[in-house]
């Protein structure tokens, strides 16, 4: 089975990390996987040696509003850039001749790339490929209701399957996509796409009884890191233990050095680590944003947690996820709009007062299930 997987991350690293887990799951079943990677390469995220990576001219969002997209030279993308990307995408689909075209997010997101995605989907459908969308459990709330009709139309015309990487027992897709019933015949829940558990590494003490502060890739995480640093200099519940601040690869080097220089005794500032899940299993408390991958790591670790969901611009996805878990008594939430050392301290106190979180009861085999569903789709084509 030949799979062509289009992936475009714009700001954080969550989309790329989830896509890499899916690509490795597909390759593990013997599929030949080619990834059309539209974002800047992310350090530490590997698609595995079995996947061919076709690096497209990369694009990224200028900021958290996602209103301006920048090319590889930091300039706003233009029609000439779009033409180069579209040509590269269509050349690849013609060369690979995939049995399956898997597209991350679109048409539920990534509308800015429909100039290449619509021709890609049309070419794959014309060649007889199975087409599927790979989409997370919670969508950003759309301000324009007419977008629902447009999305449904694209799904009905160009997609055979919508693979929702979530569990309806926690939140059904229709909770954030009101038109889900109109495409119910195409929706398949895969469970959550979670990284396989890492060895405990109990010979290492890192993380033991610590407060672990993390911001994923870090593109929008500096306010949280700064608030945590200011809070640790004060006193209060949970503050007398070592704190470890993890700055992701998108935190600028100058900002990282400033944080490290300002860290008081008892605080270690370092770059994000591949053993992050193991640190969480040993920690006293996790403080983080509320991205898909980070929350899965927190739930699997079973640690107490404070979530500060990213909510700039029209972003609602992280806030919905965080509140859903807070309502279930799993953790404490501090709103980004009200984030200060004082409100963070209050969140820490609430989280530490909670009983130990119960074991996670979610399906976490999303990568394997995605591979199985696509194989079945090809077999039944």
pLDDT, position 200: 58
Q: Do 2-192+364-379 and 211-353 fold alike per CATH? A: yes
- CA distances, 140 to each of 130, 132, 242 (Å): 26, 20, 36
259 CA to centre of own chain: 25
Single pTM value for the model: 0.92
How many angstroms separate the CA atoms of 99 and 193, rounded?
Answer: 22
From edge to edge, which strands make up the β-sheet containing 130-136? 51-55, 32-37, 2-7, 100-104, 130-136, 161-165, 187-189
How many angstroms separate the CA atoms of 222 and 89, rounded?
Answer: 35
Give the CA angle between residues 376, 378, 381 to the nearest 5°: 105
Residue 332: helix, strand or coil by DSSP? strand
pLDDT, position 190: 98
Q: What is the DSSP string of 280-324?
A: HHH-SEEEE---HHHHHHHHHHT--EEE-----TT--HHHHHHHH
The CATH class for the domain spanning 2-192+364-379 reads alpha beta
Task: Provide CATH code, domain 211-353.
Answer: 3.40.50.2000
pLDDT, position 238: 57
Q: Could you read off the pLDDT tens digit of each residue along the chain, which spans 381 residues?
A: 999 999 998 887 888 999 999 999 999 999 999 999 999 887 778 788 889 999 999 999 888 778 899 999 999 999 999 999 999 999 999 999 999 999 999 999 999 999 999 999 999 999 999 999 999 999 987 757 788 999 999 999 999 999 999 999 899 999 999 999 999 999 999 999 998 876 655 556 899 999 999 999 888 899 999 999 999 987 655 578 999 999 998 899 999 999 999 998 899 999 999 899 999 999 999 999 999 999 999 999 999 999 999 987 778 999 999 999 999 899 999 999 999 999 999 999 999 999 988 877 889 999 999 999 999 999 998
DSSP-derived letter for residue 338 is G
How many angstroms separate the CA atoms of 318 and 95, rounded?
Answer: 38
pLDDT, position 331: 96
How many angstroms separate the CA atoms of 347 and 350, rounded?
Answer: 5
Residue 26: both structure tokens together:
């597909």
- Write down the domain spans for the chain: 2-192+364-379, 211-353
Q: What is the DSSP string of 188-245?
A: EE---B-PPPPP--TT--TTTTPEEEE-TT-TT-HHHHHHHHHHHTS-STT-SS-EEE
Residue 206 contacts residue 320 (beta carbons within 8 Å): no
DSSP-derived letter for residue 176 is T
325 CA to centre of own chain: 17
User: Buried b vs exposed e over 5-32: b needs ≥16 C-beta within 10 Å?
Assistant: bbbbbbbbbbbbbbbbbbbbbbbeeebb
Q: What is the DSSP string of 61-123?
A: ESSTT---EE-TTSSB--HHHHHHHHHHHHHHHHHH--SEEEEESTTSS-GGGHHHHHHHHHH
Q: Which residue has the tokens 């799993």?
A: 330
How many angstroms separate the CA atoms of 85 and 69, rounded?
Answer: 14
Q: Which residue has the tokens 């290449």?
A: 116
């Amino acid at each position: 089975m030949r799979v062509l997987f289009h992936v475009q991350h714009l700001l954080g690293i969550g989309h790329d990390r989830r896509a890499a887990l899916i690509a490795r799951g597909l390759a593990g079943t013997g599929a030949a996987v080619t990834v059309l990677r539209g974002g800047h390469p992310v350090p530490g995220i590997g698609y595995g040696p079995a996947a061919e990576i076709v690096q497209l001219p990369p694009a990224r969002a200028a900021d958290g509003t996602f209103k301006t997209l920048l090319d590889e030279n930091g300039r706003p993308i233009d029609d000439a850039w779009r033409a180069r990307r579209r040509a590269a995408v269509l050349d690849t689909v013609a060369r690979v001749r995939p049995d399956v075209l898997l597209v991350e997010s679109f048409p539920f997101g990534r509308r800015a790339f429909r100039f290449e995605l619509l021709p890609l989907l049309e070419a794959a459908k014309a060649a007889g490929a199975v087409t599927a969308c790979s989409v997370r459990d919670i969508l950003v709330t759309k301000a324009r209701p007419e977008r629902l009709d447009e999305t449904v139309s694209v799904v009905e015309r160009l997609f055979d399957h919508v693979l929702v990487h979530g569990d309806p027992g926690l939140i059904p897709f229709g909770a954030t996509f009101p038109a889900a019933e109109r495409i119910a015949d195409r929706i398949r829940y895969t469970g959550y796409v979670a990284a396989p558990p890492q060895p405990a590494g109990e010979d290492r003490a890192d993380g033991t009884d610590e407060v672990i502060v993390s911001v994923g890739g870090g593109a929008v995480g500096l306010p949280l890191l700064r608030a945590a640093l200011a809070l640790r200099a004060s006193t209060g519940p949970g503050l007398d233990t070592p704190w470890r601040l993890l700055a992701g690869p998108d935190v600028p080097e100058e900002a990282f050095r400033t944080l490290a220089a300002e860290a008081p005794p008892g605080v270690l500032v370092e770059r994000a680590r591949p053993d992050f899940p193991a640190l969480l299993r040993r920690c006293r408390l996790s403080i983080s944003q509320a991205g898909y991958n980070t929350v899965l790591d927190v739930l699997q670790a079973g640690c107490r947690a404070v979530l500060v969901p990213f909510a700039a611009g029209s972003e609602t996805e992280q806030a919905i996820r965080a509140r859903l878990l807070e309502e279930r008594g799993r953790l404490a939430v501090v709103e980004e709009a009200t984030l200060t050392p004082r409100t963070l301290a209050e969140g820490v106190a609430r989280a530490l007062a909670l009983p130990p979180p119960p074991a996670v009861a979610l399906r976490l085999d999303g990568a394997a299930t995605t591979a199985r569903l696509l194989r079945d789709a090809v077999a039944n084509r």
